A = this chain, B = another copy of it.
Amino acid sequence: MNINLTPGPSQLFYTVPDHARHAFKEGITSISHRSKTFESYFQKATEGLKELLGIPTDYFIFFTGSATEVWEKSIQNLVENSSMHLVNGAFSNRYFEIAKQLGKHAQKMDAPLGQNFSSIPITNYGTELIAITQNETSTGVSLTNDFIREVREKNSEALIVVDAVSSMPYPALDYSQIDSVFFSVQKGFGMPAGLGVWAVNPRCIEKAESLLARGISIGSYHNLPTLLLNALKNQTTETPNVLGIYLLSCVVEDFLRIGIKKIRQETDYKAAILYQALRAHPLMSAFVKDESAQSKTVIVADCGEHSIRISNYLSEHGFNPGEGYGEKKKSQLRFANFPAHSKEQYERMVDLIENLR
């Protein structure tokens, strides 16, 4: 037994190796991305994602090489001049940096490390795009629907883009309050890395088209109008990661069979027992103190000087947590809590943590 609890790439969902074996056996890796067979996988993946996550039918879903790519493409396609980035850790800060690299007037608001924005009043930012990292993989800080709703209320004219890279499929987002969401598949979907998923509503398409009409460069093969033109045929612009899209169509079907309600309940349960263990532990504690800001899918533990000892102890028993991020590399451990991690595994790991003194 060797359970990968790093927050991404993470443990494969248990069905994935079989789906991959089928793909190789049936020659799915050699099919044309212009074939009816490919179109059926594209359609199954995108329609399945809408059903699983409750994404409205008028949204469009596109595939990219990574979620990092969506950072770039969302700025290029949705921002003429200015974006506002709500920064709650290293990854939301990279999104901000990318906007600056692309020559936009990017501003940011930093939450204190390990906290959400509850101490910072939300105002009208007078900006075109607000970037919200719903689940910050570096800190384990999560933002609520209520918070996103408040941002929207004060900024009705801005496009709200939500990075849910390390929480999907867990969060029940209120899509009436956002315009776009994106994530990658090597975390909550338990798949091999190499595929980003980008959902946008018609407002985003209109914005990209208006930039294009005014002669502003919005990129080429992966700009929104080009992605849309192909997605309407259940195709992609370029030769994509066909295997990845096929595997996603299979995993989404598996998740639909299990039911999103059960996936969310199990995620809540596993998070609850781990946070409970951290509250009571003499050597470890939750980095995020405010319970309403505690991520259910990336649980970050302050371990101080005991990090390596705890990590080694868990590894000896088959559980491999992630290191802390950046300056917290040596003093924290991060525990992914994805559908690939079973209740039984979490119970066993929490027992081990409780037994460590």
If the complex has contacts A4-B27, A24-B20, A221-B98, are A193 and B68 also in contact, measured as CB distance less than 8 A?
no
Known contacts being A71-B221, A192-B29, is A240 close to B66, with CB within 8 Å? Answer: yes
Question: Contact at A11–B30, with CB atoms within 8 Å?
Answer: yes
The answer to the question of A270 belonging to the interface, with a C-beta cut-off of 8 Å to chain B, is no
User: Of the 9-residue stretches A241-249, A260-268, A282-290, which lies at the interface with chain B?
Assistant: A241-249
Q: Mark A245-285, 1 if CB is under 8 A from B, else 0.
A: 00000000000000000000000000000000000000000
Secondary structure type dominating chain A contacts: loop
Which A1-54 residues have C-beta < 8 A from chain B? 2, 4, 6, 8-12, 16-17, 20-21, 24-25, 27, 29-33
CB of A357 to closest CB in B, whole Å: 29
Q: What chain B residues lie within 8 Å of A194 (beta carbons)?
A: 65, 194-195, 239-244
Nearest CB of B to A32, in Å? 6
Nearest neighbor of A241 in chain B, beta-carbon distance: B194
Which of B30, B71, B217 lies in contact with A220, CB distance below 8 A?
B71
| A311 at interface by CB-CB < 8 Å | no
B68 and A221 contacting across the interface, CB-CB below 8 Å: yes
Query: Taking the nearest CB of chain B, how far is it from the CB of A281, in angstroms?
Result: 26
Cα of A97 to Cα of B237 in the assembled complex, Å: 14
- Whether A217 contacts B103 by the Cβ 8 Å rule is yes
Kindly state the separation between the CA atoms of A72 and B219 in the bound complex, as whole angstroms: 8
Residues in B whose Cβ lies below 8 Å from that of A239: 8-9, 66-68, 184, 186, 193-194
Q: How far is the CB of A156 from chain B (nearest CB, A)?
A: 28
Is A238 part of the contact surface with B, judged by Cβ < 8 Å?
yes
Copies in the complex: 2
Residues A68 and B30 in contact, CB atoms below 8 Å apart: no
A7 — nearest CB in chain B belongs to which residue? B32
Q: Tell me the bound Cα distance from A175 to B308 in angstroms.
A: 48
- A230 CB to closest chain B CB (Å) equals 12
Contacts of A267-319 to chain B: CB distance below 8 A: none
Determine the chain B residues whose CB is within 8 A of the CB of A155 once the complex forms: none
Interface membership of A64, Cβ < 8 A: yes
Task: Indicate whether A354 reaches chain B with its CB closer than 8 angstroms.
Answer: no
Task: Write the nearest CB–CB distance from A41 to chain B, whole angstroms.
Answer: 13
Also in contact, A12 and B33, with CB within 8 A (given A101-B217, A194-B244, A242-B194): no
Q: Which residues of B contact A238 (CB under 8 A)?
A: 65-69
Asked if residues A220 and B65 are in contact (CB atoms below 8 Å), the reply is: no
A238–B70 Cα distance when bound, in Å, is 11
Q: Ordered nearest first, which 3 A-B pairs have the shortest CB separation?
A: A65-B65, A194-B241, A68-B238
Q: Please, could you name 17 A-B residue pairs with CB atoms under 8 Å apart, sorted by A?
A: A9-B31, A12-B29, A17-B25, A29-B191, A29-B192, A29-B193, A33-B193, A65-B238, A68-B238, A69-B221, A69-B238, A97-B220, A192-B242, A192-B243, A193-B239, A193-B242, A194-B241
